[in-house]
Each structure stands twice: as C-alpha cells, then as structure tokens.
Chains A and B, each alone.
Chain A
Amino acid sequence: MEIVAPSTEQLLADFESKINAEIKIEPRDWMPEEYRQNLIRQMSQHAHSEVIGMQPEGNWITRAPSLRSKKILLAKIQDEGGHGLYLYSAAETLGVSREQFIQALHEGKAKYASVFNYPALNWADMGAIGWLVDGAAITNQVSLQRTSYGPYSRAMVKICKEESFHQRQGYEIMWRMMEGTKDQQQMAQDALNRWWWPALMMFGPHDSDSPHSTLAMKWKIKRESNDQLREKFINKTIPQAELIGLKVPDQNLQLLEDETYKHGDINWDEFWAVVKGNGPCNQQRLEHHIRAHKEGAWVRETAIASAKKHNI
C-alpha cells in the first residue's frame, strides 16, 4: 500500500473542521503557520504582561500600610508571576523557548499590555489596578477559556480563578478607602481617574481598526471582539463604582434604555503613543526587566555550572 502525504489543502480543511467542531488544537497537530505565529504573538504578549505587570504593583509592596495588605499584595504579585510562568510554558509548546521570548521582549519585538506603562502613584492604585486592570483582563480571559488552542485554553481556565480573586481584592481596597478619611477618598477617586481610560484601552482598538482580529476570530483564537468585551466590562464596572461613591471620569457617558452604558470617545492618539513606546513608563519598565536579567546572568551561569558538576 502506498502512503501518500496529505496535501496542504487537505490539512487545512481538517484543521478548520476541527475548529468548527470546537475540538481543541493540540501542540502536535498540524496547524497553519499563520495560526502558530498569531498564537506565539498573543501568548508571549500575555506572558510578558503578567511579568511586567508585577512592577507597578511591586512599587507599593514596601509601603503597604498594614500587615494584611502587604501579605495580600505580595501574594497577588506572586500569582501574576505564576501566570507568567504558566503562559511561557504553554507558549513554549509552539516551538519557541523562554529565552527567545525574553530576548524578543528586550529587543522590543514582543509587546506587553500597554496598561502597565502607567505609573502607580498612590496606595489606591493597588485597588484600582486589581479592580480595573485585573477586571478588564478577566473579561478578556473568560472569553479566552474557549480559545481554540488547547494549552492556551487550559492556562486560561486556571488563571481566571485567581484573576477574579484579584479583582475582588482590588475592589475591597477601593471600598475601604471610600469608607475612610477624606484623604483616602481623594486617593481612590484620583486612582480611578488615572486608570479608567487605560483600562478601557486594554481591549484594544475598535473592531473596525483591529489588524489581527479577523483571522483570529475565524480560527477562534479570539472568541469575542474588542468592542463586545469592552462593553461587557463597562456594564459590569460602572455600577460597582457608583455603589461605593466613585465617579467614572467620562463626561459623555450615557445610560441607554436597555440599562447598558455608552462610553465617550477614547483617546486613541494616547493609545497608539503608548503602544509605540511613548507612554509614561515604557522605558522604565523595559529597562528594569533588562537590568534584572543582566544582573542575574552570573547567578544563572553558576547554577548551570554547579548542576553540571553534580550531575543534577
């Protein structure tokens, strides 16, 4: 019997029928190169975001105002690093190593979530980041639990549980501050003012301007569009703000007849400026990561040398 290798057309047809039947694509399955590249881009960006996101929160660990809040913040940051590890491993199933991912980050070829290029200026920022940034991330990630690539989907299921915990903790900080002194209330409102728009921008450009979206939706890497997810987030979050007496900084916000909200114009010039590297902390965040990596080189080298000696 003669075995004939299937044609690319046949492989693609099989691949797409799996996608249509909601069967997950696994690392050893055939996949179009564009699908692989799309996933490498998205998953590594996601992993880098978890890791770079440790920095703005890390900025307040040593100034956390109580033992409990310090413990919670340490544990939260540790969770985020854990998500990073988990996502790097999931992304490595696509044939790229962690060292390569980090190199791409350092060379500016790989991105991370732009929201982490904003500064964390007061303690309420620890609340706003958990509540809004983790909140926006979950909205996106809940949807990604159904993504078509198996390792990514499973990573999302695991990560989502912790993210929703982070969101509640963040909201609790905001709530406590709004219950507190005038100074605390001002800090909370100030933090919301600064994080609201960057959080909305986390969902990316409007669907009409989103370059990677079409194919990603077709192959079910993405399951819901940027605008759909953004609306979900807004409708969930505004009532939470109002409940504790915070005011969302959007003068053109409208409450529609169906009880949903329509937000005012997003400043896309700012969005693209930050994406291109010109945000308040882009340089600081990336240089910090590069410096720590460089300073750690001798430690990684001695660990390898010692493992070789002892045959571990």
Chain B
Amino acid sequence: MEAQKKYYLQLADNALILSHRLSEYSSHGPFLEEDLANTNVALDLIGIAESILEQTAKIDGKGLTGDDLAYRRGEHEFYNCLLVEQPNTDFAFIMVRQFLTDAFHFYFYSELTKSKDKFLSAIAFKSLKEITYHLRRSSEWLIRLGDGTQLANDKTQHAVNTLWKYSNEFFTENEVDIEMKKSGVGVDLKEVKSLWSQKVNEIFFMAHLKIPENDFQLTGGKQGNHTEYMGYILTEMQFLPSKYPDAKW
C-alpha cells in the first residue's frame, strides 16, 4: 500500500511541479502562439497530476482529497525528480528541461499502459496522446534552437550542460520502483532509459548538441530531498491553503 501510494506520488509530482514551472511562464513567451502552447502543456500536466492525486487520496482512504495532497504536503513528502523543479532561466532551459522530461514521460507512460494496475494503465493510455504531442513539440524546438543561429545553439548547449546532471534521476531505481516493477504495477526503468537515450541521441544529433563529457549526476527528489528551488515553489503554490486552512476555494 505505502509503496503503491509513493509510486503514484512520484508520477503525480513530476507532472504537478513541471506544470507549475510552466505556469510561471505565462505572458513571458517569445511570441503569442508559443506562450499559449506552453500554457497548453501546463494544463495537460496538471490534469494528469490531478487524476493521479485524486486516486492516491482515494486508495489512501484517510478522507483526504487530491487538493490536500497537492497543497498540504511538506517539501520532504514531494517525490518529483530534481529536473522538473529547475527554474525557467530562459527559453533554452525551458525547452531542454521539457524535452528531457517529455521523452521520459513518453517511454515511461508507453510502458505503463501494460501495468497490472487498471488505474495506471488507463491514465497512461489517456495521457499518451497529450504526451506524444509534447514530445513532438519539444523535439522540434530543440532542433530549431540547436540548428538555427549560433547564439541559440550556444544558449541551448549551456542549458544542456547545466541540466544534464539531473537527467538520470528518472531512471534511478529506488525501493518503490523495484517493488512495483516486481508486482507488475510499475515499469522497468532500464528499458525506458535505453529508449530515452536513443531518442535523446537522435534529437541531439539533429540539433548539433552534445551530451556533456562530465557525466556526474545528482539525485534526491524521489526520496524527498530537493534543490533549494523547491521550497519557494511550494511557498507560493501553497500560500492560500496554508494561510487560510479552513477556507474552501
């Protein structure tokens, strides 16, 4: 039960926190169409997070709601990977973060459609249509950024160099991942990783981007140990429910 709940939260929190970062970017886009496309992805992701959080609250059986899980958990109880909480430094950072996550989501949810857990396979199936679009969009953008002007290539390579160290956490198995894989609920992250690497290599090749030679990696999010950014995200996101705990919105 606890493992299942934590597995659900890992999925939901990646979607929730990335959606939050994207929502910060509203009215900041390079042109109107892209501003709206960005909000669109934020909406898809919060939709996925909401479904999973509501189901988590239900199986938890303590009378909590999806909102309670989003707005009343502490930082250590969030299990998203470190990559999705990284800030919107510029459009290149946003797109590199998005591409690395979209590619993970795509192969992860593709595998998850085969889950023995009816809810997870259903949500995976339902979300794949949106995620397929996300991945196509961010792949195309990566190529535009990497294979357009020199300035854009430099900025995007810089984003890759900065963000790469958070990219392997998606595939770093913890106890919950192992247990869920064994019971046929979860997916095999090794398989997801090899498909992901193939996709990343393909797009990086087309975009003239390089994987950094220094391949050191940081992890911790999946255990509730986050970067300094996370506290600010939650402070803002949870401000109203924290300040007015009795209010219903």
Contacts and interface: CB of A to CB of B under 8 A. Distances in A.
Q: Indicate, yes or no, whether A interacts with B.
A: yes
Interface in A39-55: 51, 54-55
Interface string A101-121: 000000000000000000000
Contact of B32 (A51, A297, A301, A309): A51
A263 interface: no
Interface stretch (A22-30, A76-84, A136-144, A265-273): A76-84
Contact of A74 (B43, B67, B237): B43
B30 A296 contact: yes
Contacts of B34: 296, 299
A77 B39 contact: yes
A209 to B, nearest CB: 33
Contacts of A289: 27
A307 B50 CA distance: 37
A67 B42 CA distance: 12
Contacts, number: 135
A32 to B, nearest CB: 31
Interface string B14-58: 000000100110111111111110011011001101100100000
Contacts of A305: 148-149, 152
B74 to A, nearest CB: 17
Contact of B71 (A58, A66, A123, A183): A66
Given A62-B20, A306-B147, A299 B152 contact: yes
Contacts of A212: none
* B: interface residue count bin: 35 or more
25 contacts: A54-B27, A63-B237, A65-B71, A67-B46, A68-B50, A71-B47, A74-B42, A81-B35, A177-B249, A180-B247, A184-B244, A288-B27, A289-B27, A295-B28, A295-B30, A296-B31, A298-B149, A299-B91, A299-B145, A300-B30, A300-B31, A302-B148, A302-B151, A303-B144, A305-B152
Interface of A: 51, 54-55, 58, 61-63, 65-71, 74-75, 77-78, 81-82, 84-85, 88, 123, 176-177, 179-181, 183-184, 288-289, 292, 295-307, 309
Interface of B: 20, 23-24, 26-36, 39-40, 42-43, 46-47, 49-50, 53, 66-67, 70-71, 90-91, 143-145, 147-149, 151-152, 155, 236-237, 239-241, 244, 246-249
